[in-house]
Structure 1
Amino acid sequence: MIQNSFIHMQGVGKTTEEKLWQRGITTWSLYEKAHEKGEKLPMPGTVLPGIKTSRRHYERGDLLHFQGLFPAGEAWRLLPGFQEATCYLDIETTGDGHWCDITTIALYDGKTVRTYVNGENLADFKEAIGAYATVVTYNGKSFDIPVIRRVLGIPMEMAHIDLRYVLGSLGIKGGLKRCEEILGMGRTDLAGVDGSSAVVMWNRYKRTGDRRYLETLLAYNVADTVNMEPLLVEACRMRRDTIPEGARFELPVAGSPETPHIPDHGVIEEMRQLYRSSHGNPW
């Protein structure tokens, strides 16, 4: 999809890009060929050099270049063709705002789920994340990525797709779980477990040493992470269905990962009771 894109070039907005697509100019090469034929094109003085620059970065696999130029709502364009270089990431924390500590991290690359726990293997995350060209989060632009940089000292200098903006551009808004519900991906086993529950589970694990709390926390963390992939794939499908045939791309396929962590039903019920007491929402 990147090679079908013009909106990252100087002076080109979505309206101009769509007009080019409607004319059948759906790739950089087709724009160049149309210019060679003498066709009247929008902004050749900036688009032609932009194509040369874009092609150079594309051939190097430099997705960060494009992410820096795409509007946040259009960052979904980084996935088609580069799914193998993409990972999904979510952190859980002690809940103290931006000055919190990280408790757990879940990382998923479309095939394998890995988890990292404070006090156990959190330092291993740095090497693992370095293998990917693009990271996908929900609200990570404002929270997960800055917290990782501050707490772990990892630059996180890769392309970033924040689903909050991608889904928001499609009119799908709210927290991650609300977006899942809108798109028919609601949770059942972990219903009633939320970010505040994650803080409670970590605190109870640290106080008691009972790994049922940690396993349930990790299962929740993993669910947040793996559910981002079908959400992003659905966003790509929704966008693909609105563009001309010549600009359409092969739709990525979401995986079916095995979770390495099983939530404890007793712990879930504890968290639901806490949720009921604060939200009045029965199960």
Structure 2
Amino acid sequence: MIQNSFIHMQGVGKSTEEKLWNRGITNWSLYEEAHSKGEKLPMAGTMMRSIDTSRRHYEKGDLLHFQGLLPAGEAWRLFPEFQESTCYLDIETTGDGHWCDITTIALYDGKTVRTYVNGENLDDFKGDITAYATVVTYNGKSFDIPVIRRVMGIPMEMAHIDLRYVLGSLGIKGGLKRCEEILGLGRTDLAGVDGYAAVVMWNQYKKTGERRYLETLLAYNVADTVNMEPLLVEACRMRRDTIPEGARFTLPATGNPATPHIPDHGVIEEMRRLHRSSQGNQW
């Protein structure tokens, strides 16, 4: 999809890109071909230079170049051709704003789920994340990525698709779980467990040492992470269905990863009671 894109080029907006697509100029090579035939094209000089620059970055696999130029809501374009180098990421924290500490991290690459726990193997994340060219988060632009940089000192210099903006551009708004509900991705086992409960489970684990709290927290963290893949694929499908045939792309099937952590039903019920109590206290 990147080679079909023009909106990352200087002075090109979505309307210009759509006009080019509707003329049958659905990729860089077709633009160059039309230019060589002497066809009248928008911003021909600028566009030809931009295509040359874009191709050089594309051939190097430099997705960060394109992510820096694409509107946040259009970052989904980085995914279709580069699924194999894409990962999904979510962190859980102590909950005290941007000055929080990281408690757990879940990482998923479409095949394998990895989890990292503060005080156990959190430092392993530093090496593992370098294997990926693109990271997908929900609201990570504002939270997960800055927190990882501050707490762990990791530059996180890879392309970033923030689903909050991608889904928002499609009119799908709210928190991650609300977006899941809108698109039909429910969480039966972990329904009623939220970010506040994640903080409580960590505190209970540290207080009691009972692994059932940690396992349930990790299961929740993993659910946040693996559900980003079908959300991104569905967003790409919705976009694909609105563009001309010549710019369309093939979408991968979403995975069905084995869950490495099993939530404890007693802990879940405890968190649901906490959730109901907090909801009641709002009235």
Q: Give TM class, smaller chain.
A: over 0.9
Name 1:112's counterpart in structure 2. Answer: 112
Provide the C-alpha distance between the structure 1 equivalents of 2:255 and 2:17, rounded to a whole number of angstroms: 32
Superposition misfits of 4+ residues, deviation over 3 angstroms: none
Name 2:93's counterpart in structure 1. Answer: 93
Provide the C-alpha distance between the structure 1 equivalents of 2:38 and 2:253, rounded to a whole number of angstroms: 40
Shift of 1:251: 1.2
Name 1:274's counterpart in structure 2. Answer: 274
**Aligned 8 A contact 1:8 1:70 in 2:** yes
Name 1:259's counterpart in structure 2. Answer: 259
Name 1:220's counterpart in structure 2. Answer: 220
Provide the C-alpha distance between the structure 2 equivalents of 1:255 and 1:82, rounded to a whole number of angstroms: 15
Provide the C-alpha distance between the structure 2 equivalents of 1:119 and 1:181, rounded to a whole number of angstroms: 34
Shift of 1:279: 1.0
Shift of 1:135: 0.1
Provide the C-alpha distance between the structure 1 equivalents of 2:57 and 2:210, rounded to a whole number of angstroms: 49
Provide the C-alpha distance between the structure 1 equivalents of 2:280 and 2:80, rounded to a whole number of angstroms: 42
Provide the C-alpha distance between the structure 2 equivalents of 1:280 and 1:185, rounded to a whole number of angstroms: 26
Name 2:138's counterpart in structure 1. Answer: 138
Q: Pick which of 258-267 and 245-254 moved more.
A: 245-254
Shift of 1:45: 1.4
Name 1:103's counterpart in structure 2. Answer: 103
Cα-to-partner distance string for 1:87-110 (whole Å, 9 max, x where unaligned): 000000000000000000000000
Name 2:3's counterpart in structure 1. Answer: 3
Shift of 1:117: 0.1
Amino acid at match of 2:152: L
Q: What is the number of equivalent residue pairs in this alignment?
A: 281
Shift of 1:270: 0.2
Shift of 1:131: 0.3
Provide the C-alpha distance between the structure 2 equivalents of 1:279 and 1:198, rounded to a whole number of angstroms: 16
Q: How does 1:29-178 map to 2 (within 5 A)?
A: 29-178=29-178
Provide the C-alpha distance between the structure 2 equivalents of 1:269 and 1:280, rounded to a whole number of angstroms: 16
Shift of 1:280: 3.9
Provide the C-alpha distance between the structure 2 equivalents of 1:237 and 1:140, rounded to a whole number of angstroms: 22
Provide the C-alpha distance between the structure 1 equivalents of 2:280 and 2:237, rounded to a whole number of angstroms: 36
Q: Which runs of 5+ in 2 are unaligned?
A: none
TM normalised by structure 2 equals 0.99
Name 1:200's counterpart in structure 2. Answer: 200
Cα-to-partner distance string for 1:189-236 (whole Å, 9 max, x where unaligned): 000000000000000000000000000000000000000000000000
Shift of 1:263: 0.3
Name 2:12's counterpart in structure 1. Answer: 12
Provide the C-alpha distance between the structure 2 equivalents of 1:253 and 1:33, rounded to a whole number of angstroms: 34
TM normalised by structure 1 equals 0.99
**Aligned 8 A contact 1:79 1:252 in 2:** no
Shift of 1:252: 2.4
- Are 1:229 and 2:267 an aligned pair? no
Provide the C-alpha distance between the structure 2 equivalents of 1:253 and 1:232, rounded to a whole number of angstroms: 11
